Amino acid sequence: MAHQGVEFVRTAYGKNAVKVLYIRREGTHHSIIELKADVQLTLKTRKRLPAWRQL
């Protein structure tokens, strides 16, 4: 059974192991925190995707 008008569109984009380095300086004392995160963005409509991301 063929479905007409059905289109599969990629509406998500992500990055794995994104590193963020936070440096806090208080006088002569410095603190460093390194965070590592997985980021996933999801859009509700195809219209909002940049042209280079549309399939």
- Report pLDDT for 36: 95
| Contact yes or no for 20/49 (Cβ under 8 A) | no
Average pLDDT, the chain: 79
| Contact yes or no for 44/12 (Cβ under 8 A) | no
| pLDDT level of residue 52 (50, 70, 90 thresholds) | low
The residues spanned by each domain of the chain are 12-53
With a threshold of 0.85, does the pTM exceed it?
Answer: no
pLDDT in tens, 5-20: 666 666 778 889 999 9
Q: What is the C-alpha to C-alpha distance for residues 39 and 6, in angstroms, rounded to an integer?
A: 28
Minimal CA–CA distance to 45: which of 13, 6, 11, 12?
A: 11
